[in-house]
Every structure is written in C-alpha cells, then in structure tokens.
Amino acid sequence: MIKFTKMHGLGNDYIYISKVNEENVIAEEKLPELAKYLSNRHFGVGSDGIIIVEKSNIADFKMRIFNSDGSEAEMCGNGIRCFAKYVYENKLTKSKNISVETLSGIKYITMQEENGIVSNVTVDMGEPIFEKEKIPVLIDEKNFYKNVTVQNDKNKNKIPINFNLKVLDKTFDINCISMGNPHSIIIVENVDKIDIEKYGKEIENNSVFPEKTNVEFVQILDKENIKMRVWERGSGETMACGTGACAVAVVCNLLGLTKRNVTVLLRGGELNIHWKTENNRVYMTGSAKKVFTGKIEEI
C-alpha cells in the first residue's frame, strides 16, 4: 500500500508521496507508470501528476515531479508551494524557511503559518533564462530575435520575442523563455475565446521545441493584472501553472505591457509575481491547500 496526500495550488493538483524515512518504498522504474495510474481521474486518485518527497544531499529536501503522462518535469511552481506545506505540516521540518532540490536547481521557500497550518508560500523561482539553447527553442536568430536589455546581464541577451509560428489554421506570435522549464507565451485579446485544446497541444509538440513546451495564452487587463490560461506540457490544460505565471510576468514586462510586480489571474485563483530589479530573480506567492490523505494499492 502507498500512503499519499492529495494537495492543490489554485486547482493545479498533485498526489504527494513521501520516500523520506522509507515511508513508501517504490522502485524507480515504476514511477512513470505510477504517475499515469494515480493521476487517472476515473481509475486512480485523479491529479495533474505525482510529486515525490525525497532526501537531498545538497538541500533540505528533493522534489521530483511526474506529469499525468508519466514524463518527469523539471519544476512546478504550484507543486513546490504544496511541497513546502507538506513537509512542514507532516513535521519533516520545523523551519518555515527551506531549500528544495529540483531538476531546475535549488529553490528557496518561505512559508506563512498560523497554528501549525501553512496558508501562503513564497518561492524564489530564480532568474529567467532567455538563451534559445537553454530554453530550448530551435529558431533562426537573425529573423526572430530583438535585443532586450536585462538587469544584471553581462551581455545584451537576444531574447526570442515575437516570432511567428504557423499552427494549423492560425499564425501566432510566440515569446519564449525558461523558468527552469520551457514556456511559450502568446498575447491575445480574450483568453476565454481561445480553443486551448486545439492549439495548445499542437504548439506543445511543435518541432521547434525539442523538449516540448508549456503554452500560456495571456490577456493584459492593466499594468498590474494579467489573465492567463495554460496548456501544460505532459498534462494538458490545468487550472494554474506557477512557473508559467512567472514566465508570463517577465515577458509582459519586457514587452512594456506591465510592471514588474503583478497579479496573475488563473482559472484556479491568483498568484502574485514580482520580478525584482535588484537581483533579477522572480518571486512567486500563492496559496497551498491539502485535500485529503489516503492509501492505495501499488500497481
């Protein structure tokens, strides 16, 4: 039997399984299939994926993320907020300030707690990544880049802004960056009118994205508020995406559409994103909720 806790950040829901203190012994090769099985909303628990809590040699904890299709993800903003709540409320740590090892590096977290319950969590999401090789995206620099000066950047990065991508019957202006995982941001007039399943899937799997991509459709409400829908790589449309909200906030500021401190409105709720001038790092603050705990037979 596997012990688990289901949690969500703005409706972006994951099943948390702890391997700390050998609470659950699961073979490494079984994790992708386990993610598919548990994530199934008809035959499993139902989620956007599973998150494994492990020990780390370089941080307080290690977080591993498996999407509902079994693929392993580098990072999840909503998932890591719930991860912090999980380790604190399960008494795996007494500190409200922790470090977490992920495939996109170590993330630093501060929790707001009252009477032993974590409500809001702030995550230092690190610096945005603009180099096309690191995102990665396969586009022709001379045709699709424009120079944008980035704070604390030794070179004037050539950032993939506003390149045209033909998708089925439409051509989209794509803006690409990475927050430890790849994001493609598209500014639209009304996010509610986008057929996200039709276009999101096609963009995610387009050949210009060798590691696929998350896709964010964005509507600018004003200088401090952004509305967003997201098609997540490996999961489809989700209620929210933390790394996506960070990526969107950075790109919208680079385009001169918003300030550096914004509220991102997602289907599942709101995130505050602050891209700080003094250190070029992006900070995300939002809620984390526990849904229920249980046990399930391993496949």
List, in sequence order, the alpha helices (H) in 167-241.
Answer: 196-204
Residue closest to 48 by CA, chosen among 238, 246, 273, 211:
238
The Cα 257–Cα 185 span in angstroms is 13
Tokens of 89: 């409320």
The catalytic residues are 76, 241
Residue closest to 208 by CA, chosen among 145, 159, 147, 140:
140
> Residue 249 region, left (φ>0) first, then alpha (ψ -120 to 50), else beta?
alpha
3-state secondary structure of 260: coil
